[in-house]
Amino acid sequence: MTPEAIVANASVDAGVDGDVERGATNPATLDVATVREKTSLASRIITSVALIAPVVGVLSAARLLWGVALHPLDLYLFAIFYFITGLGITVGYHRLFTHKAFRASQPVRAIFAILGAMTLQGPVTQWVTDHRKHHARSDAEGDPHSPNLAGPGYFHHVYGFFHAHVGWLISTKGMERGMLYGRDLFDDPMIRFIDRAYFAWVALSIGLPYLIAYAITGSNARGIEALVWAGLVRIFCFQHATFSVNSVCHTWGKSPYVTGDKSTNNVIVAMLTFWEGWHNNPHAFPRSARHGLRTAQLDISYLVITLLTKIQLASEVRLPTDQQLARIARTDSD
């Protein structure tokens, strides 16, 4: 298969240039092409630090709490930063940049790229290329974070789950570098600038809670307290909520659509990720801006996209038709 053909197939399978419907495309027909033989040492070290730092943050928080170092302001900031930066992943990194489920102007794209980076899940080009590859190779060889490829038996299931949750971050993350699955983003100078300034967004994500709390209270201690709760602990919590989409939502839950993989809808993960946990749905319809496809499936991220269209900050919102929904719906699923 030529590189051009691989790109075309990958794009369609990730829902980039094709219709909203993925259906039961067989990922086994695609090549397992990568730019690198393995993830770079620098990437492993940086990711390891990013994983360890929030844990240090939780321990620090516990130490601070010992002296009743937790106030309502910390919780307000935690909720605000969790919500706004979380939308950077769910609306921005996932639905806008990965799947092009709607269109937005460059300033709006920039804001979502920065907000996504503030969750410390990596620069947008890296996140998108890994995720497009996940869709193209879902639960088959080449999927960067499938929990279902480790082999049979309890030990392998546990190992596979761990790999999908965090293990892949230091083994298979960032192998594509966008050459195959993310050329559109690599060709965008604004996105590349935001990528290169990644550590500035990291500093902003951790430093802003401090500055806000300090400005309100005038207390350095209260600033550090907010840094811990609304910075480090918030990053830790949202990271693991997102990681659960990769691990839990390919292990437990219902699969109302035939997708050719083991993606599931899981309501608990959905609630923690602004309804990204309806994960079987976007595997069936990757270009759909709405993941809660059934009437009873709330989708906060889609409501935000709807709000953006009302104030003309988003357009060309893509949704599957009733016929497309019915075509690959399981008849034995509610």
For Zn ion, the closer of residues 205 and 244 by Cβ is 244
Count CB neighbours of 35 within 10 A: 12
Q: How far is the CB of 262 from Zn ion (least distance, A)?
A: 9
Q: How far is the CB of 170 from Zn ion (least distance, A)?
A: 19
Could you report how far apart the first and last alpha carbons of the chain are, in Å? 40
- Given a contact cutoff of 8 angstroms between Cβ atoms, the answer to whether 216 and 230 are in contact is no
Distance, CA of 269 to CA of 258 (rounded, Å): 21
- Which of 277, 234, 267 is CA-nearest to residue 115? 234
For Zn ion, the closer of residues 205 and 251 by Cβ is 251
For Zn ion, the closer of residues 57 and 320 by Cβ is 320
Distance, CA of 320 to CA of 252 (rounded, Å): 25
For Zn ion, the closer of residues 116 and 231 by Cβ is 116
- Which of 231, 235, 229 is CA-nearest to residue 74? 229
Q: How far is the CB of 278 from Zn ion (least distance, A)?
A: 11
For Zn ion, the closer of residues 97 and 236 by Cβ is 97
Angle of the 106-117 helix axis to the 189-196 helix axis, nearest 10 = 20
Q: What is the DSSP string of 156-171?
A: HHHHHHHHHHTGGGGT
Distance, CA of 145 to CA of 160 (rounded, Å): 9
Q: How far is the CB of 230 from Zn ion (least distance, A)?
A: 28
**What is the distance of C-alpha 180 from the center of its chain?**
19
Q: How far is the CB of 94 from Zn ion (least distance, A)?
A: 6
For Zn ion, the closer of residues 234 and 283 by Cβ is 283
Distance, CA of 120 to CA of 235 (rounded, Å): 7
Q: How far is the CB of 251 from Zn ion (least distance, A)?
A: 11
Distance, CA of 251 to CA of 89 (rounded, Å): 22
Q: Measure the CA dihedral 192/195/196/197, to 10°.
A: 130
For Zn ion, the closer of residues 132 and 234 by Cβ is 132
For Zn ion, the closer of residues 234 and 250 by Cβ is 250
Q: How far is the CB of 132 from Zn ion (least distance, A)?
A: 8
User: Bridge partners of 265?
Assistant: 254, 278
Q: How far is the CB of 37 from Zn ion (least distance, A)?
A: 25
Contacts to Zn ion by CB under 5 A: 263, 282
